[in-house]
Chain A
Amino acid sequence: MIRLQDITKVYPMGKRELEVLRGINLNIKRGEMVAVMGPSGSGKTTILNLIGCLDTPTSGSYYLEDREVSRLSSGELAHIRGQKIGFVFQTFNLLPRLSALANVELGLRYCGGGDRHQAMEALAKVGLSDRANHRPTELSGGEQQRVAIARALVKNPPLILADEPTGNLDSHSGEEIISILTTLHTEQGITLVIITHEANIAHQCQRIIHLKDGQVVAEEMA
């Protein structure tokens, strides 16, 4: 599903260059649930951005479903994001002026179609059918993150990427979120990559990848 070969990423920082990723090699199989752990500045988010086609590597190759995508144009990358990838962010990133349902429908907007019915189904999967017309400000943090998950999964993507999905939640809501993600993984076979600080969350995944200073330092099977 995902194959990273000798990926490096360098950001210009004024006159100096900041080497965020230094030669990452990584394979993630279809249907796998993987946690990425590491201290701040280890390059976790950068990897996730690359995998999510939000960014392109400085060097190296990235194969998504056996297609080299590291040299595609921004339009082609956008197309891939629309078709194949669902994002779940730490800060939820819902549009505050739209209802939960409208936020979920936004997930269908750029992938070539779908209807309100489909959006309602996605909300049902995260147990929020009854809050469809509430705005994000009227929902708890956990509920907001569930809306965000519904938005990510509404288009049935093969891959969902979650960047510290429980980082802004209390432990109870966090567990709910993780259990929803786990269910998606087991029932729908969605490939999941989750960045997390929390070991107990990481241990619910099948594999944990440890990053440090832009390199993979350890992999363990959970």
Chain B
Amino acid sequence: MKKWFEPLSSAWVGVVTHKLRSFLTILGIVIGVAAVIALMSIGRGAEATIISRIESLGSDLIIIYPGAVTQMGVKGATGSATSLTLEDAAAISEQVPYIAAVAPSYSTSLQVVVGAQNMNARVTGVTPEYMQAYNLNTTSGSFFSEYDYQRGAKIAVLGSNVKETLFEGADPVGQRLRMGNNIVRVIGVLESKGAMMGSTDDAILTPLTAMQQMVAQPRTSQGERVVSSIALTVSAEGQASYVVDEITSLLRSRHQLGPGAEDDFKITSLEEIASAMSEMIGTMTLLLGAIAAISLLVGGIGVMNIMLVSVLERTREIGIRKALGARERDIWGQFLIEAALLTFAGGIIGVTLGWVVSSVVSRTGLITTVVSADIVILAVSVSVGIGLFFGFYPAWNASRLNPIDALRSE
């Protein structure tokens, strides 16, 4: 105990007797560690925020879009083809295993009028499974039932943005709105999902059966009814890629695509998007962390500089200690511990500062930052490591001083 405590206490005395210089010495470390902590926590927070948004849509969600129309060699946008049909959805539902809900939908733009409010909205005809597939909740009212669907009730559930545009603060449930040439009753409002792929915030959902009465749903040459997308959820975890493969081969055979032909549909799974996103953000975070780490390196060089000066300045002290019987490793240890103590303190202050910065960022509400223990431990041990590394040479210099010359120095 004493063996460890004594060198530590004399190193501590060395640090506190030069308060300003010690502070300036570790400033580089403080800033470096703070930057690492703040950037990493913001990066991780961003990752967590995005992942949780994706998951709120349902991480097991798979959406099938029609492919692109290729006209005279020019490929159009995904979804421009009219290749996906209600019958496809039925076939998937019957033939592909591990599927919980299949929700085909058909979207079109319609003029929607409520009183003086008038907007061109995307109206989507959906089946009752849509709610389950997209993991939707209503903030007021309710979603439509199987019964409503079967009888083609002219009712609508509004996305949160649409509700704001048309009704502002008022509760729209029970209100009527004009959609194209039809009067539709609002039965519910959806919870906001944020601006993400497949978000329903800007949608007006209505039973597909009612939609078919309101607008003419196009048909393919085989007479199947065209849909804009088919959403489905995978019931068994880890089976997403299997399900995607099954759907691909089913749709290819249904669409009579030859072995060389491109798919006329596109399957995206949120799981895939989520992992791609999180990988991308992870890379960004690492990059930012690496840039911040460079400032740690610069800070380390600053520590070395000051330690060299400090050894010069304390030559006489080193001489005295040597005369009193200090061996080279005692002196070496003293200066090394002092350097490590300095950068350790820098690390702690830096962590605190970085934590403050990241909680300020959290306060703004943009991102919920995450200061995780592993990064804190890493940052502090790296800063101690920097102290040991950059303190090594000055400490060695100090230990090699000749006691007679050292005692004679001014």
A85 to B330, CA, bound (A): 18
Are A93 and B6 in contact (CB-based, < 8 A)?
no
B326 within 8 A of A: yes
A151 within 8 A of B: yes
Interface residue stretch chosen among A62-70, A102-110, A164-172, A194-202: A102-110
B353 within 8 A of A: no
Are A81 and B325 in contact (CB-based, < 8 A)?
yes
B311-334 CB contact bits vs A (8 Å, 1 = yes)? 000001101111111111110000
Are A97 and B325 in contact (CB-based, < 8 A)?
no
Which of chain B's residues has its CB closest to A78's CB?
A: B327
Rounded to whole Å, the gap between the CB of B204 and the closest CB of chain A is 77
A101 to B78, CA, bound (A): 84
On chain B, the residues within 8 Å of A89 by CB distance are: 407
Which of chain B's residues has its CB closest to A113's CB?
A: B2
A2 within 8 A of B: no
Rounded to whole Å, the gap between the CB of A218 and the closest CB of chain B is 27
On chain A, the residues within 8 Å of B320 by CB distance are: 93, 95, 106
User: Quick one: given A93-B316, A95-B320, are A54 and B403 in contact (CB under 8 Å)?
Assistant: yes
Rounded to whole Å, the gap between the CB of B19 and the closest CB of chain A is 12
B91 within 8 A of A: no
A132 within 8 A of B: no
Are A98 and B326 in contact (CB-based, < 8 A)?
no
A106 to B13, CA, bound (A): 13
Are B316 and A82 in contact (CB-based, < 8 A)?
no
Are A81 and B324 in contact (CB-based, < 8 A)?
yes
Interface residues of A in 55-111 (CB under 8 A from B): 55, 74-75, 78-83, 85, 87, 89, 93, 95, 97-98, 106-107, 109-111
On chain B, the residues within 8 Å of A54 by CB distance are: 322-323, 403-404, 407
A190 to B178, CA, bound (A): 112
Are A110 and B13 in contact (CB-based, < 8 A)?
no
User: Quick one: given A89-B407, A93-B407, A97-B13, are A83 and B325 in contact (CB under 8 Å)?
Assistant: yes
Rounded to whole Å, the gap between the CB of A105 and the closest CB of chain B is 9
B364 within 8 A of A: no
Which of chain A's residues has its CB closest to B399's CB?
A: A74
On chain A, the residues within 8 Å of B321 by CB distance are: 106, 109-110
Which of chain A's residues has its CB closest to B323's CB?
A: A87
Report which of A55, A97, A109, A111 forms a contact with B404, defined as CB distance below 8 A: A55
A89 to B323, CA, bound (A): 11
A75 to B330, CA, bound (A): 10
A42-60 CB contact bits vs B (8 Å, 1 = yes)? 0000000100101100000
Are B317 and A111 in contact (CB-based, < 8 A)?
no
B367-410 CB contact bits vs A (8 Å, 1 = yes)? 00000000000000000000000000000000000011001000
A residues contacting the other copy or chain, number (CB 8 A): 26
Interface of B, secondary structure class, is helix
Are B325 and A79 in contact (CB-based, < 8 A)?
yes
On chain B, the residues within 8 Å of A93 by CB distance are: 316, 319-320, 323, 407
Report which of A95, A109, A151 forms a contact with B317, defined as CB distance below 8 A: A95
Are B327 and A110 in contact (CB-based, < 8 A)?
yes
On chain A, the residues within 8 Å of B17 by CB distance are: 97
A82 to B323, CA, bound (A): 8
Are B13 and A98 in contact (CB-based, < 8 A)?
yes
On chain A, the residues within 8 Å of B322 by CB distance are: 54, 78, 81
Interface residues of A in 132-164 (CB under 8 A from B): 151
On chain B, the residues within 8 Å of A113 by CB distance are: 2
A216 to B17, CA, bound (A): 46
On chain A, the residues within 8 Å of B324 by CB distance are: 81-82, 87, 106-107, 109-111, 151
Which of chain A's residues has its CB closest to B16's CB?
A: A97
Which of chain B's residues has its CB closest to A46's CB?
A: B404
Are A78 and B13 in contact (CB-based, < 8 A)?
no
Rounded to whole Å, the gap between the CB of A107 and the closest CB of chain B is 6
A58 to B319, CA, bound (A): 21
Which of chain A's residues has its CB closest to B18's CB?
A: A97
A98 to B330, CA, bound (A): 19
User: Quick one: given A95-B317, A106-B321, are A78 and B404 in contact (CB under 8 Å)?
Assistant: no
A81 to B319, CA, bound (A): 12
Which of chain A's residues has its CB closest to B320's CB?
A: A93
Report which of B2, B13, B325, B403 forms a contact with A111, defined as CB distance below 8 A: B325
Are A109 and B323 in contact (CB-based, < 8 A)?
no
A114 to B2, CA, bound (A): 11
Rounded to whole Å, the gap between the CB of A67 and the closest CB of chain B is 16
On chain A, the residues within 8 Å of B316 by CB distance are: 93
Q: Which of B6, B17, B325 has the most CB of A within 10 A?
A: B325
Are B325 and A82 in contact (CB-based, < 8 A)?
yes
Are B323 and A52 in contact (CB-based, < 8 A)?
yes
A78 to B327, CA, bound (A): 5
Which of chain A's residues has its CB closest to B2's CB?
A: A113
On chain B, the residues within 8 Å of A82 by CB distance are: 324-326
A58 to B95, CA, bound (A): 99
Report which of B6, B13, B329, B407 forms a contact with A109, defined as CB distance below 8 A: B6
On chain A, the residues within 8 Å of B328 by CB distance are: 74-75, 78
> A-contacting residues of B (Cβ < 8 Å)?
2, 6, 10, 13, 17, 316-317, 319-330, 403-404, 407
Other than the known A49-B404, A75-B328, A109-B326, what 17 A-B pairs have Cβ atoms closer than 8 Å?
A54-B323, A75-B327, A78-B322, A78-B326, A79-B325, A81-B322, A81-B323, A81-B324, A82-B324, A82-B325, A93-B316, A93-B323, A106-B320, A106-B324, A109-B321, A111-B324, A111-B325
A–B complex contacts, Cβ < 8 Å, 8 sampled: A74-B327, A80-B325, A82-B324, A87-B324, A93-B319, A106-B321, A110-B326, A111-B325
Top 10 nearest A-B pairs by Cβ distance?
A: A82-B325, A110-B325, A78-B327, A81-B325, A97-B17, A110-B326, A54-B403, A93-B320, A87-B323, A75-B327
